Amino acid sequence: MFWLYTFVNVLFTLLELAILARVLLSWFRVDPYHPVVAFLYQITEPILSPLRDVIPSLGMIDISPIVALILIDIIRQIIRALILSGL
């Protein structure tokens, strides 16, 4: 079970890093067609898009990545607890 616990932890950490990288890239002018940028958008858009539909933006500030990071951490804790309990 330790390998599953580690896998889930690494998977969620990579997802959090992808969201943080997307936030950092939004501060700079980058080519959206660059392979790395396009890959980050493909990974993070399914998570951020539904949140943007529900959460209103604060002017030019998009808080959906913050909410996504909080939700990802909550989901990670639930899954880790289920793994440790033996399910």
Judged against a pLDDT cut of 70, whether residue 87 lies above it is answered with no
- The model's confidence at residue 79, banded by pLDDT at 50, 70 and 90, is very high
- What is the per-residue pLDDT across 9-59, written as a single tens digit (0 to 9) for each? 999 999 999 999 999 999 999 998 999 999 999 999 999 999 999 998 888
Give the per-residue pLDDT at 74.
97
Mean pLDDT of 71-75: 97
Q: How far apart are CA 30 and CA 82, in angstroms?
A: 40
Tell me the residue range of the domain where 39 lies: 8-85
Residues contacting residue 50 through CB under 8 Å, at least 6 positions apart: none
Please count the structural domains in the chain.
Answer: 1
**Global pTM?**
0.88
Report how far apart, in Å, the C-alpha atoms of 64 and of each of 7, 46, 50, 53, 74 are. 25, 12, 9, 9, 15
| Residue 31 in domain | yes
| Residue 3 in domain | no
> Which backbone phi and psi does 58 adopt, to 5 degrees?
-100, 80
| Residue 1 in domain | no
